[in-house]
Amino acid sequence: MFESAFNSRALTIVAVALALTLSSGPASAKKKRVFSVEDLYKVGRVSQLAVAPNDDLAAFAVKTFDMKTNKNVTHLWIADLSSGKSRQITNAEKSDWAPRWMPDGRLAFLSARSGKPQIWAIHLDGGEAVQLTDLPLGIDNFAVAPNGEHVAAVISVFPKCETMKCNDRKAQAKESDKVKARVIDKLLYRIWDTWLDERRGHVIWIPLNGGEPRDLTPGDMQTPPHDLGGHMDLSISPDGDEVVFTSNTTANPAWNTNNDIFAVSVLSGEPRNLTAEHEGCEAEPIYSPDGKYISYLAMERPGFEADRKTLMLYDRKSKKRIPLTDSLDRSVYSYSWAPNGKNIVFYAADLGRVSLYKVSVPSGEVKKLVDKGVNSSPQVTSDGRKIVYLGQNMSSPTEVYTVKMSGSRIKQISHINDDLMGRIEMGNFEDIEYKGANGDKIHGFLLKPPGFDPKKKYPLLMLIHGGPQGAFGDSFHPRWNMQMFATPGFVVAAVNFHGSVGYGQDFTDSISGDWGGKPYEDIMKGVDHVTETYSFVDGDNVSAAGASYGGYMVNWIMGHTDRFRSLVSHDGVYELVSMYGSTEELWFPEWENNGTPWDAPELYEKFNPANHVKNFKTPTLVIHGEHDYRVPYTQGLQLFTALQRQGVESRLIFFPDETHFVQKPQNARLWWNSVLGWLADHADLKWTPPGKQFGKKGKRKGKVKKIAGRRGSFRNR
């Protein structure tokens, strides 16, 4: 539930400065430098791939950051898959996102350039974008009907309003009301970083050539569900007569995962629940190209958000459910149909990587196609010969790639980041394996710092992933970037302890009810393995850092060992009982701890870091965001108070304008410089921000200003 390197929401990677287009020369001719925070915020964050249904083209989004203005903007690009050339096609001051192809070859997208997000479209041969919708409310998501005359859009509306004008009046009245008190009658009342109110996400059928929009999901129905939805929980049938979507219509969505697949006629009738007999989580429905099936992802066990996701088919005629990927002991994260309907391509976490697969329909025969790096968003070209996808690895940010349907001839298509990355010296990494708890094989990564000299001794930094059902992978993470952690001169280790995904569902299940058990043993044995195996690692100079569940584990570590020189706890769970009472999705702690604190208090007490305060000795940096509703910031305040009261060297960095994640560029710069400064100081490293070459051990120059309580990510917790 907490932050993870394989979080499906977190697999999108952030974008470059717009000035960086194609590679401008061989990297060997350029003087390389060490990676800096400023470089990280020039990196190309490429996402939202959309392959054209009738042409050899792909659209994608590129988000760019401006450190000076502390803002970001997203623009759309087009890649010619035949020539391998890419070009930017939108350049408005406001962001453009969510590209969708129209039958006439135009590219539709969402943009806030006229105020609230609306649907726009642009011709690829030039000209200005044209606004297609002009509604008083902003559009959250949309799908284009096969005939191009309608769209199905998700819009947050007031359920009692029957017209857009009514919704507009209510929204304006709410905005102008001087009383901002919230009157709350039931759970959920907030999610991730957002307070909820009476508004609900509804599917609105919108004619593009005039006419009144029609609400297809009136009443107290929310789509997509507040959490555990898919990449795209909205699809229109090939004949244009029906829409499928995902919703949780139970009376208690705060403590169950019972998302269902619904279908509704665009002309009349009530939404029909297609998976009502199943209490697990279903999401991401898509019609097959011939309309025979509705595919979707399903988890079997109710209440367990990290259960294996199986790709399913719903036969619209027989109403039977057909599991397609039962033979694969991996979760399917997202997928798309081949145009001929004979295959579905998808991606899944796999042994520290995220691999691409295809499965035959309806036989269920699965084949792995791409197994290097971390890959996502696979889509098949109109001729059925190639798969277009987004790929990255630990040394290279996300770009657009193609591979043949056979899995051969991988080709990089976009080159948004080539120029920048060609100027930076990256550390080399390798896979590591050792025996952890129960003698089970534990996999991880070891990254050496830039300028590595095998004759020298380096301090070790152990990174701890979130989730806890997450994993560290061969990826260029936009926040917890392993290359950045190595820059002061650390050897960085990241191990996938019991509970990690990509190693089989039994391995993932093994952390539930054992938060401080096997994972802690795996991490400590990982420290022993690295320090005893690699002569260049200083076993007396070890630090650790983690976020979300990784922050929990840091908090657990400080009460059980003094092995570490220093620790960093970002948005970590500290006190399990108060955490239960202030987090938003109760199914998570109830599953992980076998019930509520009053009915089943044993695990809440057994694995509660707050019960071991008297053992705290390690210097610790505590970081939290005020708008983190998953792991509320009071967890961090409690931890800092305990450290201070015990006389332990500690520092609190509190961000009043951040959530579970630190995302604003200037806040991120403060975060990185503070974290690396804290770790480097306690490891006796000389380190000078922003990213200048490190030198001999000793005091670093330009000491980061101490911040203790100054005003200023547990899902994937």
Cβ pair 140, 155 in contact under 8 A: yes
According to DSSP, residue 27 is labeled G
With a CB cutoff of 8 Å and minimum separation 6, the contacts of 188 are 196, 226, 253, 254, 584, 585
Angle at 494 between CA 715 and CA 693, to 5 degrees: 110
Instruction: Specify the pairing of strand 57-66 against strand 71-80.
Output: antiparallel
Identify the bridge partners of residue 653 per DSSP, sorted by sequence position: 623, 710
| 363 catalytic per annotation | no
Sign of CA dihedral 88, 90, 94, 99: negative
Closest C-alpha to 605, from 594, 619, 621, 620? 594
CA distances from 614 to 400, 577, 635 (A): 51, 19, 18
Task: Tell me the two tokens of residue 659.
Answer: 């959530």
Cβ pair 16, 43 in contact under 8 A: yes
Cβ pair 230, 219 in contact under 8 A: no
CA-CA distance, 462 to 470, in Å (whole number)? 16
Active-site pick, 39, 514, 628, 681: 628
Continuous H helices in 471-585: 482-486, 505-509, 518-533, 549-558, 576-582
| 548 catalytic per annotation | yes
Residue 349, φ and ψ in degrees, nearest 5: -65, 135
The alpha carbon of 565 is separated from its chain's Cα centroid by a whole number of angstroms, namely: 30
Coil, strand or helix: which one is 57? strand
Identify the bridge partners of residue 178 per DSSP, sorted by sequence position: none
CA-CA distance, 236 to 251, in Å (whole number)? 27
Contacts of 532-539 with C-beta under 8 Å, sequence gap 24+, read: 533/432, 534/446, 534/491, 535/454, 536/448, 536/452, 536/453, 536/454, 536/455, 536/456, 536/457, 536/458, 536/491, 537/457, 537/458, 537/459, 537/460, 537/491, 538/457, 538/458, 538/459, 538/460, 539/460
Closest C-alpha to 77, from 405, 416, 412, 363? 416
CA distances from 624 to 454, 472, 691 (A): 37, 22, 24
The alpha carbon of 444 is separated from its chain's Cα centroid by a whole number of angstroms, namely: 20
Task: Tell me the two tokens of residue 682.
Answer: 């306690």
With a CB cutoff of 8 Å and minimum separation 6, the contacts of 275 are 260, 261, 282, 296, 298, 314, 321
Per-position b or e across 165-177, b if 16+ CB within 10 A of its CB: eebeebbeeeeee
Active-site pick, 233, 660, 681, 713: 660
CA-CA distance, 709 to 623, in Å (whole number)? 10
DSSP string, 263-274: EEESSS---EES
Active-site pick, 336, 548, 650, 713: 548
Task: Tell me the two tokens of residue 181.
Answer: 């008190």
CA-CA distance, 518 to 37, in Å (whole number)? 34
Coil, strand or helix: which one is 493? strand
| 660 catalytic per annotation | yes
CA-CA distance, 511 to 519, in Å (whole number)? 7
Which positions are annotated as active-site residues? 548, 628, 660
